[in-house]
Amino acid sequence: MVAKQIAASGGLYIEDGKARISLDPGPGAVVQYAKRKVDLTKLDAIVISHRHLDHCGDVNVMVEAMTEGGFAHRGRLFCPSDALDEDPVVLKYLRRFPQEVVRLQPESTYSVNGLEFTTSPRHIHQVETYGFRFGDRLGWVTDSAYYDGIAEQHKAEVMIIHVVLMQCRAELPHLCLDDAERIIREAKPRLAILTHYGMTVWRAHPWELAAGLTQRQLAERLGIPEQQIQRYESTMYSGVSLDRLQDVADALGLEIEERVTYAASA
């Protein structure tokens, strides 16, 4: 996926209030940010979940950008210790460019220009890895094998879930589609975003997998068969009772606006 750039591997960008954060700038991140006109000299922080190349390939160029080639001593870099020690992915000469290099600890809270985030316990992965939660608003389940508590630890209104595998494989510490479904069922986010697919997920058309998950979750929350939801969707919910629509809206956390229009009397 990365080598062919079937999907971009540039990571995430969060802008909230005064805080601007780049998360896991993988290979091509600097190009993706430039395309979207993100001014990297205004970044407050770069956060790395773990030192695998697809999560930090562009970290050095990003540090350069955030600090204007080292001339502006600003911004912070957050990463696990082993990204600095064991198999360092952050070049040594760059480490004095940011204001601070912070070694992430498990279950700790950090603040970037007013925006707080908390690390999960260490994920089950080949290298030191942490997931993140930005209050109740955003949970980011980065690479890990499934473990008890992963849903609760990342529970938030919007959850980003790294779904690498179509089928679970015990020898690979990555989430598969069934794991993602379990996490969604347990944490019940308003919106779950599946990303970071491996080739098997990509070939199975992630948008179709997502539609299937949506129908199953909705059916579960309403306590009706999945086929019923498929029927509703095929007729765009026409002829469905207002009570049932209210149930669907409640399950989705939506508000129904009732609008009755009268023809103007002649």
CB of 150 or CB of 229, closer to Zn ion: 150
Least spacing, CB of residue 178 vs Zn ion, in Å:
19
Under the rule (CB under 5 A), what is the footprint of Zn ion?
A: 52, 143
CB of 52 or CB of 154, closer to Zn ion: 52
Least spacing, CB of residue 245 vs Zn ion, in Å:
42
CB of 49 or CB of 217, closer to Zn ion: 49
Least spacing, CB of residue 129 vs Zn ion, in Å:
7
Q: Which residues contact 232 (CB under 8 A, 6 or more apart)?
A: 240, 248
CB 180 within 8 Å of CB 166: no
Buried b (16+ CB within 10 A) or exposed e, 218-255: bbeebeeeeeebeebeeeeeeeeeeeeeebbeebeeee
CB of 57 or CB of 139, closer to Zn ion: 57
Tell me how far apart the alpha carbons of residues 74 and 12 are, in angstroms, rounded to a whole number. 20
CB 67 within 8 Å of CB 73: yes
Least spacing, CB of residue 57 vs Zn ion, in Å:
12
